[in-house]
Amino acid sequence: MNLIQRATNITLNPKTEWPVIAAETATTGDLFKSYIIPLSAIPAIASFIGMSVFGMNMPFVGHFRTPILTGLMTLILSFGLGLLSTYLISLIINALAPSFGGEKNAMQALKVTAYAFTPAWIAGVVNIIPSLGMLGVLAALYSIYVLYLGLPVLMKAPQEKAVAYTAVTVICSIVLMVIVMAVVGAVGGMSGMSGMHMRSGAPSAESSAAMGELAKMGEKMAEAGKKMEDAQKSGDTQAQMNAATEALGAALGGDSKVEVIDIAKLKALLPETVAGLKRTRFEGEKTAMGGFKISKAEAEYRDEGNREITLELTDIGGSKMFGVMFGWGMVESDKENDGGYEKMGKVDGRPTHEKFQKDGSSGEYGVLLGGRFMLEARGSNVDMVSLKTAANSVGFARLEALKNEGVTK
């Protein structure tokens, strides 16, 4: 059964579809590759478009929009952690089965998790318009109902215990999702205001490369599925969680293993002064989850005239997915109004994004280097020339020369 037919059936006719699903044979890798990955990508991509491309109006704040680079970082993290969460919730469902009179079956638990999430994943498309978020909440509630119908069928739990089984599963899942959102929020963050909407042109030529990487990711998840199945057979929950996180890191990282650049070395790339401003704040951090690692350095520069520039340098290491999705989402765009302008495109082959308010109150300049380093200069009371000078002071060629550092096959 193809993806569209299955998604339609489980959403519109869950009572009759669950017995069909229960009788099917499947593997973890195939389920991720053919169903979970494409559907779970919908809300992540839609959220990026909604918050970083269109933005939203907020009371007392005005028009809010997540910066492009931050939005792309959040997209990759939320997508990857969403895949991991799907697997971990299936472990929860499987572990709880005996407590509610059901039978433990890891594959059935993953199937009930994946297919029950379907309505919420499909409804995630409304994230393109952030103000319609309530519709996503309603879809999530419907997914709980679909889960309630599926647990007795796939996990063979008595019908009279289905409500309690569902409730405990949902509570555990909410706790897990809170943790996931905290990780995404801590790494991605949300900052920046914009008074303009961006109008995009045609997709860039990198779309075929992005599709190729997505296909490779599917193959990686098929391989990862075999490892997870072996861990499931062992009965060791910790081993299963370790296998899941390691598989996720391998999938997002491609064929190479990458150790991100040390924080101290990354911080050393940020100069003491930029565009005539002295450095007043300096910090770095490293985040790791399974094989997926990120390191970041940030410096703030000011003067007595209230001019300010912040330089943020992020090494996304082996996440090829970030590079290709940045290229895939990159468009040739040039928007201008009385208040300012915004441009997206490529300069000397490097994907770039710039936004500037003509009164000098705020501006951003970002560039992706070597498919690995995100460099962003944000400022207030400075001109665009100063922002570009600040970014260039880090050394584009120097960063690109580091693109293979820490990479092992």
- Looking at residue 372, what is its pLDDT? 81
Rounded to whole angstroms, the Cα distance separating 206 from 22 reads 40
Query: Could you give the 3-state DSSP secondary structure of residue 97?
Result: helix
Written as one letter, the residue type at 205 is A
Report the DSSP pairing between strands 340-347 and 350-357.
antiparallel
Task: Give the DSSP per-residue string, 11-28.
Answer: HH-HHHHHHHHHH----H
Residue 372 neighbours by CB under 8 Å, 6+ apart: 315, 316, 317, 323, 402, 403
Query: Could you give the 3-state DSSP secondary structure of residue 350?
Result: strand
Phi, psi of 71 (to 5 degrees): -65, -40
Report the DSSP pairing between strands 373-380 and 308-315.
antiparallel
Residue 11 neighbours by CB under 8 Å, 6+ apart: 118, 119, 122, 146
**How many CB atoms within 10 Å of residue 43?**
24
- Each domain of the chain, given as residue ranges in start order, spans 3-195, 258-408
> pLDDT above 90 covers what percent of the chain?
26
Written as one letter, the residue type at 153 is V
* Tens digit of each residue's pLDDT (9 = 90 or more) over 375-388: 999 999 999 999 99
Average pLDDT over residues 239-249: 57
Fold of 258-408: Protein Transport Mog1p; Chain A (3.40.1000)
Rounded to whole angstroms, the Cα distance separating 216 from 226 reads 16
Candidates 308, 283, 309; CA nearest to 296 is 283
- Assigned token pair, 292: 């997926």
* Tens digit of each residue's pLDDT (9 = 90 or more) over 68-85: 666 777 777 778 778 888
Whether the predicted pLDDT of 346 surpasses 70: yes
Rounded to whole angstroms, the Cα distance separating 132 from 41 reads 18
Whether the predicted pLDDT of 177 surpasses 80: no
Positions of E strands within 212-332: 257-258, 273-274, 277-289, 292-302, 308-315
Alpha carbon distance, N-terminus to C-terminus of the chain: 37
Written as one letter, the residue type at 114 is A
Least confident span in 110-119, 216-225, 253-262: 216-225
